[in-house]
Amino acid sequence: MKKVILLCSIIMTMIACTTKDENPLLSEFQTPYGVPCFDKIKTEHYVPAFKEAIAKQKEEIQAIKDVPDDQLTFENTFVALDKSGGLLSRCVGVFFNVLETDGDEQMHAISEEIMTMCSQASDDIMMDADLFKKLKFVYENEKNNLQGEDLRLLEVVYRSFVENGALLSDEQKERVKAINVELASLSLQFAQNVQKETNAYKLFITDESELSGLPESVKTAAKDLAKENGREDAWMFYPSRSSFIPVLQYADNRALREKLHTAYNVRGNQNNEFDNKANILKTLALRQEKAKIFGFDNPADFILTNSMAKTGKNAYDLLMRVWKPSVKQAIKEAKELEALLQKDYPNEKLQPWDWWYYAEKLRKAKYDLDEAQIKPYFELSNVRKGAFGVATKLYGLNFEKLEGMPIYNPEVEVFKVTDAENNLVGILYTDYFPRSTKRAGAWMNNVREQHDTVRPVIVNVGNFTKPTSTDPSLLTMDEVETLFHEFGHALHGLMAQSKYKTLSGTNVPRDFVELPSQFMENYCYDPDVLKTYAFHYKTGELIPNELIEKINKASTFNQGFVETELLCASILDMDYHLLKNMDALQTPEDVNKFEAESMKKMGMIDQITVRYRSTFFNHIFTTGYEAGYYSYTWSAVLDADAFAAFKETGDIFNPEVAKKYKHLLEQGNNIDAQENYLQFRGKPADEKYLLIRKGLL
């Protein structure tokens, strides 16, 4: 690796992958830092590579099974298992990253075959009776002799086998395998339906007067989008948040706001080829069946066994404790906004497509704060520098942009991350703009996970406001927070210090994994941090103190809406996954009825729409957050409490607290999540800090 790094520093522009193999996925990448040679990998390489990788892992597993019983050790079982599947991990890291960010029709066409192969391969290992027999023998004989990461690996892997069916009967194992394959297929179909329906809707406006109120930058972006879609005479909008949220926020045209709000909220729910309601029924029924096979009453309790919450009830109870003050505040906010609405539309009721628009007016009236004033100071590359700067100040990390690296799309940028002693921490890719080949949302991916001396390769993905023909990418306040949030996930992966892949970085309970990401959001609007990155994109002027004061004074503005929108999605998720049977969900139309009943039961107000309606709720039907969307709130309690540890010292960059928090990040799953947090804070997290921060207490 040192030779590769040295070579890179001398001839960075002469990057090429090995050509000795026809399939570049099947050998180590001969690139700087061993990053994937995206420029050489073609769609036709994936299926053969996955087949060979799965076959290779089977050989590695067989080698463990072939160890005589009298020679079994922790090293030749648990450690060998952790090291197995290296080639498969490489294929997974590359394929699924490209599929989600730049997947064309060919990629999507092979995705189900690959998902099925991976699901079956995983189940074959986790339900292998002979393999588990070896592991069980070592577990029972070594659990009192190991310590530290070795003991943690022993416990985590053994428990994982049990929870994935190792103790089931042969008949039960076969049924669980079939369920897993079908769930993988349904997940892919759900995501593809959402993406295709998002891309299919194109609203062209030809009369500029209909765009009254929209900032010029928003209109320019819409004009550029229309040109990309063959319409020189129009402005185009579609149901991606970067496209329709500015319309909700600024457009005087109420009918236009309603049209785009509706287009966003009916995705997957139009009884067409992309409808997801039947998909939801099948998914929930299979999850219930699987939970019962494992002896649980409902999917939530099964899924949350190893979470910090432990049970669905505990998660639900926390959500309701935060929900009550949130919806109470949202009701107050709605009354204020409706009073503004009625000045324009006497006797009309406030609707969900009115909220953003009148909230923006009210923010301007209360705090003289117009987001259009702020955006020019939030040029994307400067915001990213600000996030990097926080990591430098807290953890001593440095970021160097690398040119000429292999990338999967021209919009991707690559950074080398080093520590204060110039040791390599990892490689970070950033991919920030929406495109038709990218799924909606923002996320962090591990292309290569840290383990032992191997340093990670991490990707941060967003769907932020694109540059226009006249302006660079200028972010909204929500997008600034999202950039800092996903960078927090990246830091969790980058700073990992584990001996074993299984325990590294973000391989932690779902309700702990959002702590590092949400913690970073605390820094984005701090006055001292703003002064490091908020420069006007035209003049270079630093953001005025007056604007900084306005931003911070308005920090609790509209938080009833923000929390209510998030929490009602979390509660809807729990309502689905606390079900013990499908009595309430017999037909596709029952999905809409169930969602409406869930909203009514929790006391949701009509003026706010759930953040993710069921039919495009990718988190719980695609990306692994089922019975886990509550984790954003659980982790928010942790992050507010953790940030309070800094604030209590009077220095949000306090070196002693930062050192302890850095250790928390490095630990990954080396120790229990609750123990990890207690080591940092010295006491359990207190939800009062979250309520105070949100202005709800």
8 A C-beta contact, residue 269 and residue 592 = yes
673-696 pLDDT tens trace: 999 999 999 999 999 999 999 999
> Looking only at Cα atoms, what is the longest distance across the chain?
84
3-state secondary structure string across 175-188: HHHHHHHHHHHHHH
Fold: same for 277-369+559-629 and 376-553: yes
- Which entry of 338, 486, 563, 626 is annotated as an active-site residue? 486
Question: Which amino acid does the sequence have at 198?
Answer: T
**What residue segments make up the domains of the chain, in order of their start?**
35-167, 201-265, 277-369+559-629, 376-553
What six digits make up the tokens of 584?
């309430």
pLDDT at residue 3 greater than cutoff 50:
no
pLDDT at 241: 87
Q: Which class in CATH covers the domain with range 376-553? A: mainly alpha
Catalytic residue flag (residue 486): yes
Tens digit of pLDDT for each residue in 277-290? 999 999 999 999 99
Split at pLDDT 50, 70, 90, the class of 521 is very high
Percent of the chain with pLDDT over 70: 97
- Order across the sheet with 398-402: list the strands: 398-402, 413-418, 424-431, 457-461, 443-448
pLDDT of amino acid 6: 35
Q: Is 50 exceeded by the pLDDT of residue 15?
A: no
Residue where the block lists tokens 């040109």: 227
Architecture of the domain spanning 35-167: Up-down Bundle (1.20)
For residue 306, the SS3 value is coil
Which run of H or E residues covers position 322? helix 312-344
Q: Which of 458, 434, 455 is nearest to 446 (CA)?
A: 458
Q: Which residues of 86-118 are buried (b: 16+ CB within 10 A; e: fewer)?
A: ebbbbbbbbbbbbbbbbbeeebbebbbebbbbb
Pairing of strands 413-418, 398-402: antiparallel
388 vs 605: CA distance, rounded Å? 39
**According to the model, what pLDDT value does residue 4 have?**
36
What is the per-residue pLDDT across 193-228, written as a single tens digit (0 to 9) for each? 999 999 999 999 999 999 999 999 899 999 999 999
Confidence check: pLDDT of 266 > 60? yes
Residue 445 to residue 489: CA distance in whole angstroms: 9
pLDDT above 70 (res 481)? yes
pTM score, whole prediction: 0.90
Q: What's the chain's average pLDDT?
A: 94
Length of the chain: 697
With cut-offs at 50, 70 and 90, classify the pLDDT of residue 80. very high
In this predicted model, what pLDDT tens digit does every residue of 437-458 receive, in sequence order? Answer: 998 889 999 999 999 999 999 9
Mean pLDDT across 390-411 = 98
pLDDT of residue 21: 53
Share of the chain above pLDDT 90, in %: 94
Whether 62 has a pLDDT exceeding 90, the answer reads yes
Whether the per-residue pLDDT at 268 is higher than 50: the answer is yes
pLDDT tens for each residue of 539-598 = 999 999 999 999 999 999 999 999 999 999 999 999 999 999 999 999 999 999 999 999
- The larger pLDDT score, comparing residue 66 to residue 439, is at 66
| pLDDT of residue 341 exceeding 60 | yes
- Return the CATH number of the domain spanning residue range 277-369+559-629: 1.10.1370.10
Q: What's the rounded mean pLDDT across residues 308-315?
A: 97
Give the pLDDT of residue 371: 87
What would the mean pLDDT of 389-411 be, rounded to a whole number? 98
Which pLDDT score, from 0 to 100, does residue 10 have? 30
Give the HSE-up count for residue 273: Cα atoms under 13 Å, Cβ half-sphere: 5
